């Protein structure tokens, strides 16, 4: 498994990371090291081992459907760089 520079560029774009050519090469190398290391696991025979979806020995942790108090509007917007009409004001989003 060899990760290409194009794949790094693609993943960086999805994560909204801006990488220069040098960083791109460096990260491709690092990702390859990680993938190679993880690839060692593939040498194990896991035929009878169920996939691990979760590491915690827990299931069915629920809450009951009962409302509890929310934050006040002031608290909600306290850290907002900008607010208007009780809403977060954000850069324009155009579909």
Partner 1 sequence: MSKYETVIGLEVHVELSTKTKIFCSCPTDFGSAPNTNVCPICLGMPGTLPVLNRKAVEYAIKAALALNCHVPSYAKFDRKNYFYPDLPKAYQISQYDLPLAVHGYLEIECDGVKRRIGINRVHLEEDAGKLVHSEFGDYSLADYNRGGVPLIEIVTEPDLRSPAEAKAFLEKLKSIMLYTGVSDVKMEEGSLRCDANISLRPVGADYFGVRTEIKNMNSFRAVQRGLEYEEQRHLEILSAGGELVQETRRWDEDKGVTYAMRSKEEAEDYRYFPDPDLVPVIVDEAWVEEIRKSLPEMPEERRQRYMAEWGLSSYDAEVITASKAMADFFEAVMADYHDAKTAANWMMGEIAKHLNAAGIEINESRLTPAHLLELLKLVDEGTISGTIAKTVFAEVFESGKMPAEIVREKGLVQITDEGAIAAIVDQVIKDNPKPVADYREGKAKAIGFLVGQVMKLSRGKANPELANRLLRERLDSQLD
Q: Cα separation of 42 and 37, whole Å?
A: 10
**Residue 30 β-bridge partners:** none
Could you say which residues in the range 27-66 bind partner 1, by CB under 8 A? 53-56, 58-66
Q: Are 38 and 8 in contact (CB under 8 A)?
A: no
**φ and ψ at 84, to 5 degrees?**
-155, 135
Of 1, 2, 16, 45, which one interacts with partner 1 (CB under 8 A)?
Answer: 16
From 21-29, 36-44, 85-93, span contacting partner 1 (CB under 8 A):
85-93
Site residues (CB under 8 A) for partner 1?
10, 13-14, 16, 53-56, 58-68, 70-71, 73, 76-77, 84-95
């Amino acid at each position: 498994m060899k990760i290409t520079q194009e794949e790094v560029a693609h993943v960086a774009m999805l994560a909204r990371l801006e990488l220069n050519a040098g960083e791109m090469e460096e990260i491709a190398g690092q990702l390859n090291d990680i993938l190679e290391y993880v690839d060692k696991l593939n040498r194990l025979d896991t035929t009878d081992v169920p996939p691990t979806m979760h590491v915690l020995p827990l299931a069915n942790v629920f809450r009951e459907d009962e409302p509890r108090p929310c934050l006040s509007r002031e608290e909600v917007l306290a850290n907002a760089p900008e607010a208007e009409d009780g809403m977060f004001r954000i850069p324009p989003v155009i579909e």
